[in-house]
Protein backbone atom coordinates (compact mmCIF):
# COMPACT_ATOMS: atom_id res chain seq x y z
CA UNK A 1 0.00 0.00 0.00
CA UNK A 2 1.14 3.48 -0.86
CA UNK A 3 0.04 4.97 2.47
CA UNK A 4 2.24 2.57 4.44
CA UNK A 5 5.23 3.27 2.20
CA UNK A 6 4.59 7.01 2.49
CA UNK A 7 4.46 6.90 6.31
CA UNK A 8 7.48 4.62 6.48
CA UNK A 9 9.47 6.97 4.23
CA UNK A 10 8.44 9.92 6.41
CA UNK A 11 9.72 8.02 9.46
CA UNK A 12 12.97 7.18 7.71
CA UNK A 13 13.48 10.80 6.64
CA UNK A 14 12.73 12.02 10.17
CA UNK A 15 15.29 9.61 11.60
CA UNK A 16 17.87 10.83 9.10
CA UNK A 17 17.18 14.35 10.45
CA UNK A 18 17.40 12.93 14.00
CA UNK A 19 13.76 13.87 14.64
CA UNK A 20 12.68 10.93 16.78
CA UNK A 21 9.32 12.49 17.64
CA UNK A 22 8.14 12.70 14.02
CA UNK A 23 9.58 9.26 13.26
CA UNK A 24 7.63 7.74 16.14
CA UNK A 25 4.49 9.64 15.18
CA UNK A 26 4.57 8.29 11.64
CA UNK A 27 5.22 4.76 12.89
CA UNK A 28 2.31 5.19 15.31
CA UNK A 29 0.14 6.25 12.35
CA UNK A 30 1.15 3.03 10.56
CA UNK A 31 -0.18 1.11 13.57
CA UNK A 32 -3.45 3.05 13.42
CA UNK A 33 -3.81 2.48 9.67
CA UNK A 34 -3.12 -1.24 10.09
CA UNK A 35 -5.83 -1.43 12.73
CA UNK A 36 -8.26 0.40 10.42
CA UNK A 37 -7.39 -1.85 7.48
CA UNK A 38 -7.42 -5.10 9.46
CA UNK A 39 -11.16 -5.55 9.06
CA UNK A 40 -11.26 -5.32 5.29
CA UNK A 41 -8.08 -4.71 3.35
CA UNK A 42 -5.35 -6.83 4.97
CA UNK A 43 -4.84 -10.53 5.41
CA UNK A 44 -4.20 -11.74 8.94
CA UNK A 45 -0.58 -12.43 8.05
CA UNK A 46 -0.01 -8.95 6.58
CA UNK A 47 -1.68 -7.36 9.60
CA UNK A 48 0.53 -9.25 12.07
CA UNK A 49 3.70 -8.61 10.06
CA UNK A 50 3.14 -4.86 9.82
CA UNK A 51 1.81 -4.45 13.36
CA UNK A 52 4.57 -6.33 15.19
CA UNK A 53 7.46 -5.08 13.07
CA UNK A 54 6.27 -1.50 13.50
CA UNK A 55 6.01 -1.96 17.26
CA UNK A 56 9.50 -3.47 17.29
CA UNK A 57 10.96 -0.42 15.51
CA UNK A 58 9.09 1.99 17.80
CA UNK A 59 10.49 0.18 20.83
CA UNK A 60 14.02 0.55 19.45
CA UNK A 61 13.74 4.34 19.29
CA UNK A 62 14.64 6.47 22.32
CA UNK A 63 11.97 7.98 24.55
CA UNK A 64 10.77 11.44 23.60
CA UNK A 65 10.28 14.47 25.83
CA UNK A 66 6.56 14.94 26.47
CA UNK A 67 6.98 18.73 26.62
CA UNK A 68 7.94 18.62 22.96
CA UNK A 69 4.80 16.66 22.10
CA UNK A 70 2.43 19.45 23.04
CA UNK A 71 4.51 22.14 21.31
CA UNK A 72 4.57 20.09 18.11
CA UNK A 73 0.82 19.51 18.36
CA UNK A 74 0.14 23.24 18.64
CA UNK A 75 2.45 23.87 15.65
CA UNK A 76 0.53 21.26 13.62
CA UNK A 77 -2.78 22.97 14.39
CA UNK A 78 -1.28 26.33 13.38
CA UNK A 79 0.09 24.81 10.17
CA UNK A 80 -3.32 23.33 9.29
CA UNK A 81 -4.90 26.74 9.75
CA UNK A 82 -2.24 28.69 7.88
CA UNK A 83 -2.36 26.31 4.90
CA UNK A 84 -6.15 26.57 4.69
CA UNK A 85 -6.89 23.03 5.89
CA UNK A 86 -8.91 24.36 8.83
CA UNK A 87 -11.52 26.41 7.05
CA UNK A 88 -13.24 28.22 9.93
CA UNK A 89 -11.53 30.45 12.48
CA UNK A 90 -13.95 29.28 15.19
CA UNK A 91 -12.74 25.68 14.71
CA UNK A 92 -9.11 26.80 14.83
CA UNK A 93 -9.68 28.71 18.09
CA UNK A 94 -11.46 25.74 19.70
CA UNK A 95 -8.68 23.33 18.72
CA UNK A 96 -6.01 25.70 20.02
CA UNK A 97 -7.93 26.09 23.27
CA UNK A 98 -8.11 22.31 23.76
CA UNK A 99 -4.42 21.91 22.93
CA UNK A 100 -3.24 24.71 25.22
CA UNK A 101 -5.44 23.58 28.11
CA UNK A 102 -4.32 19.97 27.83
CA UNK A 103 -0.69 21.16 27.76
CA UNK A 104 -1.23 23.29 30.88
CA UNK A 105 -2.95 20.43 32.73
CA UNK A 106 -0.15 18.06 31.82
CA UNK A 107 2.60 20.45 32.95
CA UNK A 108 0.73 21.14 36.19
CA UNK A 109 0.73 17.42 36.95
CA UNK A 110 -2.96 16.93 36.15
CA UNK A 111 -2.43 14.18 33.60
CA UNK A 112 -5.99 12.81 33.75
CA UNK A 113 -7.40 16.28 32.97
CA UNK A 114 -4.98 16.59 30.04
CA UNK A 115 -6.10 13.20 28.72
CA UNK A 116 -9.77 14.21 29.06
CA UNK A 117 -9.14 17.40 27.07
CA UNK A 118 -7.44 15.39 24.32
CA UNK A 119 -10.37 12.97 24.23
CA UNK A 120 -12.86 15.86 23.96
CA UNK A 121 -10.77 17.34 21.16
CA UNK A 122 -10.93 14.06 19.23
CA UNK A 123 -14.71 13.98 19.64
CA UNK A 124 -14.96 17.52 18.30
CA UNK A 125 -12.67 16.71 15.38
CA UNK A 126 -14.78 13.67 14.48
CA UNK A 127 -17.95 15.78 14.48
CA UNK A 128 -16.60 18.30 11.95
CA UNK A 129 -17.52 18.08 8.29
CA UNK A 130 -15.39 18.74 5.21
CA UNK A 131 -16.73 22.30 4.99
CA UNK A 132 -14.96 23.05 8.26
CA UNK A 133 -11.72 21.06 8.04
CA UNK A 134 -10.05 19.06 5.29
CA UNK A 135 -10.15 15.30 5.78
CA UNK A 136 -6.37 14.71 5.78
CA UNK A 137 -5.81 17.43 8.38
CA UNK A 138 -8.62 16.10 10.56
CA UNK A 139 -7.27 12.56 10.45
CA UNK A 140 -3.72 13.72 11.18
CA UNK A 141 -4.86 15.78 14.20
CA UNK A 142 -6.94 12.89 15.54
CA UNK A 143 -3.97 10.56 15.09
CA UNK A 144 -1.59 13.01 16.74
CA UNK A 145 -3.90 13.44 19.73
CA UNK A 146 -4.01 9.62 20.05
CA UNK A 147 -0.21 9.59 19.83
CA UNK A 148 -0.06 12.24 22.57
CA UNK A 149 -2.47 10.24 24.74
CA UNK A 150 -0.46 7.07 24.20
CA UNK A 151 2.83 8.84 24.93
CA UNK A 152 1.82 10.54 28.19
CA UNK A 153 -0.08 7.65 29.84
Dump pLDDT digits (tens) for 52-111: 999 999 999 988 877 788 998 999 999 999 999 999 999 999 999 999 999 999 999 999
Q: Is the Cβ–Cβ distance between 117 and 87 less than 8 Å?
A: no
pLDDT tens-place string over residues 126-150: 999 888 999 989 989 999 999 888 8
Measured CA to CA, the distance from residue 62 to residue 113 in angstroms comes to 26
CB 7 within 8 A of CB 26: yes
SS3 133: strand
Amino acid sequence: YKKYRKLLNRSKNALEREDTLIAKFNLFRIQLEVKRDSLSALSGEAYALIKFNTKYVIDLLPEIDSKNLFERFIKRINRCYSTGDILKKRIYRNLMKFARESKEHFHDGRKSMALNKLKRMRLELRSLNTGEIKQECRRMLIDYSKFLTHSIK
